[in-house]
Structure 1
Amino acid sequence: MITETDRLILRPFNEGDFESIYLMNSIPEVLTYIPQDPLTDISQAEEVYHNIIMSAYQEHGFGRWAVHHKQDDKVIGFCGPKYIPEYDKVELGYRYFPEYWGKGIGFEAAEATVKTLKPQYNIDLVIALILHGNIGSEAIAKKLGMHIHEENEYQGAKVHLYQMDL
């Protein structure tokens, strides 16, 4: 476990999470503001786990973390830091299943994550790359105290780059 809140446990993903990884990357509604094609097979989730998630854990000591909902006893999304080489900065990213939107989960997990970044990983500055129009993600960033630093592009999409010193 990385950290927890009253409702959530944030922990590294493991091989038991392939279905959740698949769903987070295949539901069109979840991917509205994500510049990637949806996964079409669970074997692709295994590849994401091994080639992206585990690679980040091994290379940087951190990465996207599973958000486990205590009451529902399941992984409902992810939240966590990811090193973005194009910016040479650490991004706070988050993604949840639609049935958990609008319940404060995103902010709760993001706030808990931000509190771990400096003491556990010596990260002094965090960014959020948010596609234009993603009002929900922008609301979380603003509530955390992040501010728009610049407008830019990421993976071919126009983004607001939010930033915050820790």
Structure 2
Amino acid sequence: MITETNRLILRPFTEPDIPALFLMNSVPEMLTYIPMEPFTHEAQAADIYHNVILADYAKHGFGRWAVHHKDDNKVIGFCGPKYLPEFNKVELGYRYFPEYWGQGIGYEAAQAAVDTFQPKFNIDLFIALILHGNQGSEGVAKKVGMSLFEQNEYLGHKVHVYQREF
């Protein structure tokens, strides 16, 4: 476990989470502001787990974390840091299943993640890349103390870059 709140546990992804990773990357509503094509096979999620998530954990000591809902006893999304070499900075990223939107989960998980950045991982500055129009994600970024730093491009899309320093 990385950290927890009253409702949530943030922990490293494990192999049994691959089906949830598949859903996070195939549910159309979850991908509205994500510049990628939806997954069509669970093997794509297994590839991300083995070759991206585990690689980030090994290389940086951190990476995207599973957000486990205590009452529902299941993974409902992800939240956590990822080093982006294109920006030479750590990004706070988050994504949740639509049935959990509007319940304060995004802020709750993001704040718990931010509270662990400095003491556990020595992350002193982090960013969030948010596609234009994603007001929900911008709201979460602002609530955890981030402010608009610049507009840029990422993967061929215009993004707002939010930033926070400790």
Normalised by the size of structure 1, how large is the TM-score? 0.99
Identity of aligned residues (%): 67
For 1:116 and 1:162, locate their aligned partners in 2 and report how far apart those are by CA, in whole Å.
Answer: 19
Query: How many angstroms does 1:111 deviate by?
Result: 0.1
For 1:32 and 1:50, locate their aligned partners in 2 and report how far apart those are by CA, in whole Å.
Answer: 25
For 1:28 and 1:20, locate their aligned partners in 2 and report how far apart those are by CA, in whole Å.
Answer: 14
SS in structure 1 of the partner of residue 31 of structure 2: coil
Q: CA RMSD in A?
A: 0.4
**Residue 40 of structure 1 corresponds to which residue in structure 2?**
40
Query: How many angstroms does 1:145 deviate by?
Result: 1.2
Amino acid of the residue matched to residue 95 of structure 2? R
For 1:77 and 1:92, locate their aligned partners in 2 and report how far apart those are by CA, in whole Å.
Answer: 14
Equivalent positions of 1:86-97 (< 5 A) are: 86-97=86-97
Does residue 119 of the first structure (1) align with residue 109 of the second (2)?
A: no
Instruction: Could you tell me which runs of 5 or more consecutive residues in structure 1 were left unpaired when the two chains were aligned.
Output: none
**Residue 21 of structure 1 corresponds to which residue in structure 2?**
21
- Per-residue deviation, residues 67-114 of structure 1 (Å, max 9, x unmatched): 000000000000000000000000000000000000000000000000
**Runs of at least 4 residues off by over 6 Å:** none
**Residue 158 of structure 2 corresponds to which residue in structure 1?**
158
**Residue 132 of structure 1 corresponds to which residue in structure 2?**
132
How many residues are paired up? 166
For 2:15 and 2:144, locate their aligned partners in 1 and report how far apart those are by CA, in whole Å.
Answer: 31
**Residue 10 of structure 1 corresponds to which residue in structure 2?**
10
For 1:100 and 1:75, locate their aligned partners in 2 and report how far apart those are by CA, in whole Å.
Answer: 11
Equivalent positions of 1:68-83 (< 5 A) are: 68-83=68-83
- Per-residue deviation, residues 45-75 of structure 1 (Å, max 9, x unmatched): 1001001110100110000000000000000
Normalised by the size of structure 2, how large is the TM-score? 0.99
Amino acid of the residue matched to residue 86 of structure 2? E
Amino acid of the residue matched to residue 67 of structure 2? V
